[in-house]
Amino acid sequence: MKLLFVIFFVTFIALSSAFVARNSLIDGNEIQTIFTNIEDFKEKYPNAKIIPMDYHLKADATRSYTLGVRQTGDTVVANTSNKNSWPVAQNVTTTLTYPSSGGSGAFLTYILINCEQSSNIGQAYVTYGGIHQHFIQIVIDTRITTYFNYAAFFYGIK
């Protein structure tokens, strides 16, 4: 039992380092996706406001996080999606930043993030900026999951 635990732990560390190294900038839109860790994030930005997003559970562990409301004249100003899976359940933190280059983007009205995961534990937070502002950072904290798929849509007025 002890041996099994040690192997699990080492596997976890190995997977985590591979995971943290992943840092993708998706072409064709303005959302930067980086993988980090919510505890590291809080340590690095102790004064960041951390506002939970609303979420709606759909079938099983499928959920959608939302923020704000659609407004006349808004459009999708940025969207991104990704799929990941692991042989061993992970705690996964995904950070979405708009605009990816920093600075100022469209006037944001509504955010929708559809997520699929194997567990039902998770929460998304706004950690910087927000609705009715021109920039936002969202951290999605997903626990004990063997996969994490998401599609995020940022609506705004240019």
Binding segment (CB under 6 A) for ligand NAG, from list 17-25, 65-73, 77-85, 98-106 = 77-85
20 vs 151, beta carbon nearer ligand NAG: 151
CA dist 8 and 35 (Å) reads 21
- The nearest distance, CB 6 to ligand NAG, in angstroms, is 14
Contact pick of 71, 91, 114, 149 for ligand NAG (by CB under 6 A): 91
Contact 136, 48 (CB under 8 A): no
What secondary structure, in 3-state letters, does 5-22 show? HHHHHHHHHHHHHHHHHC
Contact 62, 118 (CB under 8 A): no
The tokens describing 39, both together, are: 């505890």
Q: Is 79 in the site for ligand NAG (CB under 6 A)?
A: yes
Q: Is 26 in the site for ligand NAG (CB under 6 A)?
A: yes
Site residues (CB under 6 A) for ligand NAG, limited to 36-65: none
For 20, phi then psi, to 5°, come to -65, -30
Q: Is 81 in the site for ligand NAG (CB under 6 A)?
A: yes
Contact pick of 32, 80, 93, 127 for ligand NAG (by CB under 6 A): 80
Cβ atoms within 10 A of the Cβ of 79, count?
17
For ligand NAG, how many residues bind (rule: CB under 6 A)?
Answer: 10
80 vs 117, beta carbon nearer ligand NAG: 80
Q: Identify the bridge partners of residue 88 per DSSP, sorted by sequence position.
A: none
Contact pick of 20, 144, 146, 147 for ligand NAG (by CB under 6 A): 144
